[in-house]
Amino acid sequence: MSSIQTAGVIGAGVIGAGWIARLLLNGIDVNVFDPSPDAPDNANKVINNAARAYANLHTVQLPKKGQLSFKKSVAEASKNAEIVIEAVPERLKMKQAVYSEIELSASIDTIITSSTSGILPTDLQVELNNPERLLVSHPFNPVYLLPLVEIVGGEKTSTTVIEKASDIFESIGMFPLHIKKEIPAFIADRLLESVWREALWLVNDGIATTEEIDDAIRYGFGLRWAQMGLFETYRLAGGEAGMRHFISQFGPCLEWPWTHLMDVPEFTEELVDKVANQSDEQSGMHSIRALEQKRDDNLVDILKVLKDNRWGAGNTLQTFEDQLLKNSEKINFEALDLSQPLETYTTTVPQKWADYNGHMNETHYLECFSNAADKIMTIVGVDRAYIAKGNSFFTVETHIRHLDEVLVGEGVSVSTQVISGDGKKLHVFHFLYHQDGRLLATGEQMLIHVNLESRAASNPNELVSERIAAISSAHQNLASPDGVGRAVAQKL
């Protein structure tokens, strides 16, 4: 996967802000231009939503958050960017004017992408000096959660640019779908438009309300589409005989006058009022922010289940987290500051960690310390490659002290001090802190190095032994932690 350092985003509306959030939270610096004075505030609201969702979604730590800078012009936002994402309104001349400004300052190697939902890239690139670097990258809202991005090149778009852009989007956890033939509205929006068209007729003709139509989708085929799409769903509908049987059985139905797919109701004031009023009755009791967060919560849980089952969009999430984990294992041991406890884990307390009091459940204190121990193992060289060769550390004893309470949504971090590391034993002491630096809990662990084939204690290899010894020796200069070696504080 190809990663980048700096991106430009032109336009900070719903889609642009979603791009900003996804890029920033994947460690990429983002320069933004949007003439609206409300743009920074609107973008930060989306970024906060994204951070909240990611805290619940990802089991692997993301890179350090990138820097966000709002610039005074398109040219300034494009300078030094490796990719510039245009997310301005769907007006061809406006988009072409933006590209002209981008070319004033951007490097010749800078990729230009448009978030257009339907304009052909060949039309977009007509006035560019270097049209080979422009393509469409059409995402879906919320951009920071939904992985699909439709990649569409124009007549003059370079194949290399398409490949490079796809690599960039993969590196931030997306699923680039390369559409090899230009067509207005591409693939997904053409499908959505057909459903939207039929839904408007159902409302217009008084057959169903907006809520009833939404219920038909979310309680029925929408759940199937989330994991299998259209054709795989219908393949199952054909039974053991598969798709051929399904088509032969249900194909003739397409000739029946069921739908209005080639027609659309006239957008009279009466129809607009009808749709808007029904929508208000359906969802008006919720704020937009509440609906956004509920949407995100549901998407997070669906994506996590799909990841656990290695299916559909879950594969994209799993691949992304595997790459994050692989990157986290690239430790520059010589650059570590061994004069202090090592930073080993950072997270935000998700809703699912809460008990009936809204506090973090004691189970997840152990989870924090377990993740910290995993990081220590990686630091000393016990990574996935080492474990694959048949050796690892097993935890044989743990003692946790709960010193304070922490609520859902609070940031926490762990630092770890190595008490001793002689031979087969690794004795560590973890400090769990609030984001403001207050001590929340401590966890003391004894780990034993084990040969996974014999399941017996064994000595680690030379590199691991040397690293443990180096950290242990340096940490001997630290004060002995309060509570080290302590058992449950009760006399029997």
pLDDT, position 118: 92
pLDDT, position 253: 67
Specify whether 364 is located in the same domain as 258: no
Query: Which token pair is 337?
Result: 């500051």
Specify whether 269 is located in the same domain as 339: no
147 and 173 in contact (C-beta within 8 Å)? Answer: yes
139 and 23 in contact (C-beta within 8 Å)? Answer: no
Specify whether 133 is located in the same domain as 216: no
Please state the pTM of the whole predicted model. Answer: 0.85
Specify whether 349 is located in the same domain as 361: yes
6 and 85 in contact (C-beta within 8 Å)? Answer: no
Specify whether 11 is located in the same domain as 135: yes
pLDDT, position 200: 94
Domain edge (last residue) among 156, 186, 216: 186
Q: What is the pLDDT of residues 66-94, one digit of tens each?
A: 999 999 999 999 999 999 999 999 999 99
Q: Which of 438, 348, 359 is nearest to 48 (CA)?
A: 348
Residue 308 resides in a domain: no
The range of the structural domain enclosing residue 204 comes to 189-285
Specify whether 134 is located in the same domain as 200: no
Residue 265 resides in a domain: yes
Specify whether 238 is located in the same domain as 375: no
| Alpha helix stretches (DSSP H) within 339-487 | 362-379, 384-388, 462-475
User: How many domains is the chain partitioned into structurally?
Assistant: 3
Specify whether 280 is located in the same domain as 398: no
Residue 322 resides in a domain: no
Q: How far apart are the first and last CA of the chain?
A: 59
pLDDT, position 243: 80
CATH code at 81?
A: 3.40.50.720
pLDDT, position 492: 52
The burial class, CB within 10 Å (0-12 / 13-18 / 19+), for 304 is middle
Spans in the chain with pLDDT lower than 50: none
Specify whether 219 is located in the same domain as 361: no
Q: For 101, phi and psi rounded to 5 degrees?
A: -70, -35
CATH code at 262?
A: 1.10.1040.10
pLDDT, position 191: 93
The β-bridge partners of 72 are none
Residue 259 resides in a domain: yes
Domain edge (last residue) among 218, 250, 285: 285
Domain edge (last residue) among 141, 157, 186: 186
116 and 142 in contact (C-beta within 8 Å)? Answer: no
pLDDT, position 212: 96
Specify whether 216 is located in the same domain as 260: yes
Specify whether 39 is located in the same domain as 172: yes
Specify whether 161 is located in the same domain as 227: no
| Alpha helix stretches (DSSP H) within 172-287 | 188-204, 210-216, 222-228, 231-237, 242-250, 269-283
Neighbours of 316 (CB within 10 A): 19
Q: What is the pLDDT of residues 396-419, one digit of tens each?
A: 999 999 999 999 888 999 999 999
CATH code at 468?
A: 3.10.129.10
Residue 351 resides in a domain: yes
Residue 228 resides in a domain: yes
